[in-house]
Amino acid sequence: MRIVIVDDTGLRASILEDGLAEAGFDDIHIVPPRGGFVARIERLAPDVVLMDLGSPSRDTLEEMLVVSRALARPIAMFVDQSDDAMIGAAIDAGVSAYVVDGLRKERVKPILDLAIRRFNAFARLQAELDEARTVIADRKAIDRAKAILMKSRNLSEPDAYALLRSTAMNQGRRIVEVAEALITASDLLGGAS
Amino acid sequence: MTRISAAFLPLTDSAVLVAAREKGFAARQGIELDLVRSESWATLRDRLVYGQVQAAHMLAPLAIGVTLGLSQHPASLSAPFKLSVNGNLFVMGAEFAAALDPDIARRIEDPVATAHDFAAAIGLYRRKPVIGIVHRFSCHALLLRYWLGYAGIDPDRDLVLRVLPPSLMGAALGAGEIDGFIAGEPWNTAAVQEGLAEIVMVGARVWQRGVEKVLAMRTGWMEDNPDTVDRLLVALDRAASWCDEPAHHDELADLLAREDYVGRSAETIRPTLTGRLVVRPGEAPVEVPAAMLFHREAVGFPWRSHALWIYSQLVRWGMAEPSPEAEDQAAAVFRSDVYRRALAGTGAPMPGASLKVEGALSEPMGVGSHSAGLTLGPDRFFDGRVFDPADIEGYLATFRT
């Protein structure tokens, strides 16, 4: 069975590809949705096309499915059309699939289940990555603000931090917001930091 | 509070939904309106058909296409409210546009002459022009076909029509993948302001009052929740009235510019709202009245004749098989009865009929209505054709001669 993954997020596509390979599928092609990508899909003549539901290029793909003479008429499907919960899961996970009409459902379902799991795994990974990046950025800002306070007000590090924290509490803001405001103000005043 | 989710695409004509939420019109009707930004019509359709949202800002022909089973995931959809009239612009890269009338005001004033110029320019161009459209079931594509068909152009034979999302049109034009495109605003104005394109046709000049986006719902959900639907329509009617008011255009442009809505600058969004269109980069704007309408002239009223005109064009271009059943189904997507029920007694001007002959008014006309003060705007087609919904076959025959 030939599977095409339309995606330009390299990481998500390879997470999905690895999963499909582990499950024994070996005819997998990744096509980024740019330029004449539909012509490439048409040439590949896949049995299943998997695509990120959030991709703006879905309309381009669907138009190709309507006009293509080379492809058997694929239909859009969400795992099991009769199961609303599964459809919801697929939409939430952001997977859309086009399956050549007539392909037996039992053969397709494992692929779609797997795609959903892998898309979810990617989304979790992405969220963790974003969170980690934010934490690092926050810590850097707070460290810089502490350094400014230590230097300009002659405070110890714990006191500088305590001052940032009490200011944040008094103003109902996050510590990092106070730190960023301080850094901006210090930069504007030409202060060393 | 009743919670309603509505899907939309980042376009200027999502204005009424955005204003209904942001200006409190929905809340005042006891509705907590969640807006779900979608990046493609396919995803907006899936969210609606599978009940992730209860309503959607939809291309009118797509609502009909889905109902007639012409799109993926067929379902019975209903449109009890129109979100906008007019607003489409057709832009071409400067190289192609050079073959058209260099007087930009005259070029868009006279779509008859420009259609002929366009036809002549096709043969002189270095390749078959590649035109970006947003969807086969879009008013934009039907309007483009209508306009060029007048000059003897068969869009399926003489052009390459390529479906692209509006947000990628400018980049595709810049990269030479397409030679021009027709999309909803603000994406045309964005391409002009970036110096990539010029306006060659204004939708409001081809059909003075052209149907555009509708509020679509699943028919079953709409039937099961009449009270919620009525309150939502009242909220949207008031939001539409707010959007139409020139004094609010700056605030509306700022709202739409937000990253979670359209995500383009207010300077790019404003020209269509105010009807002062930038036709060519760096030149003075051209005044186009009624460039995009939200409320006056009972814009929200879903005329069944609008649905039938769309059906006639789907048949004309071979996208739908004609049959009495399909004709009835298409007309029934536009639920003027639900609009009437919801807005009765609110003071909203109410047309007495649900069908009208389209293209017959060259001047504004007061019409008999349940409440006072309904004036319909001029609604002529640029070629002078008149669409009588009672004789679609006769209408279609005029295109075959």
Distance CA B178, CA B140 (A): 16
pLDDT tens readout for residues A130-176: 888 888 999 999 999 999 999 999 999 999 999 999 999 999 899 99
Both B35 and B172 in a single domain?
no
Both B182 and B59 in a single domain?
no
Task: Give, in order, the Cα–Cα distances in Å from A14 to each of A5, A21, A110.
Answer: 9, 10, 18
Q: Answer whether residue B159 is part of any domain.
A: yes
Query: Other CB atoms closer than 10 Å to residue A21's CB: what's the count?
Result: 12
Query: Other CB atoms closer than 10 Å to residue B365's CB: what's the count?
Result: 14
Low-confidence ranges of chain B (pLDDT < 70): 368-372
Nearest-neighbour CA in chain A from B396: distance (Å): 24
Distance CA B283, CA B199 (A): 12
C-beta atoms of B40 and A75 within 8 A = no
CATH code linked to domain A131-188:
1.10.10.10
Q: Is the pLDDT of residue A80 over 60?
A: no
C-beta atoms of B52 and A96 within 8 A = no
pTM above 0.95, yes or no: no
Distance CA B107, CA A26 (A): 56
Predicted local distance difference test score (pLDDT) of residue A128: 86
Both B139 and B179 in a single domain?
yes
- Do the Cβ atoms of B141 and B135 come closer than 8 Å? yes
Nearest-neighbour CA in chain B from A151: distance (Å): 39
C-beta atoms of A59 and B134 within 8 A = yes
Judge whether B75 is closer than 8 Å to chain A, CB to CB: no
Predicted local distance difference test score (pLDDT) of residue A112: 78
| Sign of the CA dihedral with B226 first, then B228, B230, and B236 last | negative
Task: Give, in order, the Cα–Cα distances in Å from A116 to each of A12, A60, B59.
Answer: 11, 22, 29
Judge whether A82 is closer than 8 Å to chain B, CB to CB: no
Q: Answer whether residue B356 is part of any domain.
A: no
Q: Answer whether residue B357 is part of any domain.
A: no
C-beta atoms of A54 and B163 within 8 A = no
Judge whether A68 is closer than 8 Å to chain B, CB to CB: no
* Best CA proximity match to B18, nearest among B197, B220, B273: B273
Task: Evaluate whether A2-128 and A131-188 have a shared fold.
Answer: no
Both B135 and B198 in a single domain?
yes
DSSP tally for chain A: helices H, then strands E = 7, 5
Distance CA B377, CA B100 (A): 30
C-beta atoms of A59 and B47 within 8 A = no
Nearest-neighbour CA in chain A from B83: distance (Å): 22
Q: Residue B197 corresponds to which tokens in the numbers above? A: 């394109």
Both B221 and B328 in a single domain?
yes
Judge whether B162 is closer than 8 Å to chain A, CB to CB: yes
Predicted local distance difference test score (pLDDT) of residue A70: 67
Judge whether B42 is closer than 8 Å to chain A, CB to CB: yes
Judge whether A56 is closer than 8 Å to chain B, CB to CB: yes
Task: Please name the residue of chain A whose CA is at the shortest distance from the CA of residue B51.
Answer: A88
Both B153 and B254 in a single domain?
no
Q: Is the pLDDT of residue A39 over 70?
A: yes
Residues of chain A in contact with residue B163, where contact means CB-CB under 8 angstroms, are 59-60, 62-63
Predicted local distance difference test score (pLDDT) of residue B292: 95
Residues of chain B in contact with residue A35, where contact means CB-CB under 8 angstroms, are 175, 177
Both B60 and B151 in a single domain?
no
Judge whether B391 is closer than 8 Å to chain A, CB to CB: no
Both B255 and B272 in a single domain?
no
Q: Which CATH class is domain A2-128?
A: alpha beta
Residue A53 confidence class, pLDDT cut points 50, 70, 90 = confident
Q: Which of A8, A41, A52, A58 to mutate to test the interface with B (most CBs of B within 10 A)?
A: A58
Residue whose entry in the numeric block shows the structure tokens 């209505």: B369
**Any idea how long chain A is?**
193
Q: Is the pLDDT of residue A9 over 90?
A: no
Nearest-neighbour CA in chain A from B284: distance (Å): 33
Spell out the long-range contacts of B247-254 with Cβ–Cβ below 8 A and sequence spacing 24 or more. B249/B273, B249/B274, B252/B15, B252/B19
- Do the Cβ atoms of B382 and B209 come closer than 8 Å? no
Task: Please name the residue of chain A whose CA is at the shortest distance from the CA of residue B135.
Answer: A59
* ipTM surpasses cut 0.90: no
Task: Please name the residue of chain B whose CA is at the shortest distance from the CA of residue A86.
Answer: B50
Judge whether A83 is closer than 8 Å to chain B, CB to CB: no
- Do the Cβ atoms of B78 and B216 come closer than 8 Å? yes
Among B40, B72, B165, select the one facing A75 at the smallest CB separation.
Answer: B72
Q: Which of B8, B43, B131, B138 to mutate to test the interface with A (most CBs of A within 10 A)?
A: B43
Q: Sketch the domain layout of chain A as residue ranges.
A: 2-128, 131-188
Count the domains in chain B: 3
Q: Answer whether residue B189 is part of any domain.
A: yes
Residues of chain B in contact with residue A88, where contact means CB-CB under 8 angstroms, are 50, 52
Q: Is the pLDDT of residue A86 over 70?
A: no
Predicted local distance difference test score (pLDDT) of residue B174: 94
C-beta atoms of A62 and B46 within 8 A = no
The CATH number of residue B174's host domain is: 3.40.190.10
C-beta atoms of A88 and B50 within 8 A = yes
C-beta atoms of A57 and B47 within 8 A = no
- Do the Cβ atoms of B308 and B327 come closer than 8 Å? yes
- Do the Cβ atoms of B292 and B14 come closer than 8 Å? no
Q: Is the pLDDT of residue A193 over 50?
A: no
Respond yes or no on whether the N-terminal peptide bond of residue B102 is cis (omega within 30° of 0).
Answer: no
pLDDT tens readout for residues B104-162: 999 999 999 999 999 999 999 999 999 999 999 999 999 999 999 999 999 999 999 99
Q: Answer whether residue B71 is part of any domain.
A: yes
Among A35, A58, A91, select the one facing B52 at the smallest CB separation.
Answer: A91
Q: Answer whether residue B349 is part of any domain.
A: no
Distance CA A97, CA A3 (A): 10
Both B171 and B254 in a single domain?
no
Task: Give, in order, the Cα–Cα distances in Å from B32 to each of B11, B28, B50, B106, B216.
Answer: 22, 9, 20, 47, 18
Judge whether A22 is closer than 8 Å to chain B, CB to CB: no
C-beta atoms of A55 and B72 within 8 A = no
Among B71, B168, B177, select the one facing A56 at the smallest CB separation.
Answer: B168
More confident residue, B327 or A95: B327
Task: Please name the residue of chain B whose CA is at the shortest distance from the CA of residue A76.
Answer: B72
Task: Give, in order, the Cα–Cα distances in Å from B21 to each of B69, B201, B252, B255, B307.
Answer: 32, 33, 12, 11, 27
Predicted local distance difference test score (pLDDT) of residue B270: 96
Nearest-neighbour CA in chain B from A86: distance (Å): 11
Both B237 and B371 in a single domain?
no
Phi, psi of A74 (to 5 degrees): -80, 150
Dihedral through CA A102, CA B220, CA B141, CA B10, nearest 10? -100
Residue B390's region, left for phi above 0, alpha for psi from -120 to 50, else beta, is alpha
- Do the Cβ atoms of B33 and B6 come closer than 8 Å? yes
Distance CA A161, CA A170 (A): 14
Q: Is the pLDDT of residue A77 over 70?
A: no
Both B166 and B283 in a single domain?
yes
Spell out the long-range contacts of A33-41 with Cβ–Cβ below 8 A and sequence spacing 24 or more. A33/A6, A33/A7, A33/A8, A33/A57, A33/A60, A33/A61, A34/A8, A35/B175, A35/B177, A36/B177, A37/A6, A38/A63, A38/A64, A41/A4, A41/A6
Residues of chain B in contact with residue A84, where contact means CB-CB under 8 angstroms, are 50-51
C-beta atoms of B40 and A78 within 8 A = no
Predicted local distance difference test score (pLDDT) of residue B24: 97
More confident residue, A82 or B346: B346
Q: Which domain, by its residues, includes B148?
A: 89-209+265-287
Residues of chain B in contact with residue A94, where contact means CB-CB under 8 angstroms, are none
Judge whether B323 is closer than 8 Å to chain A, CB to CB: no
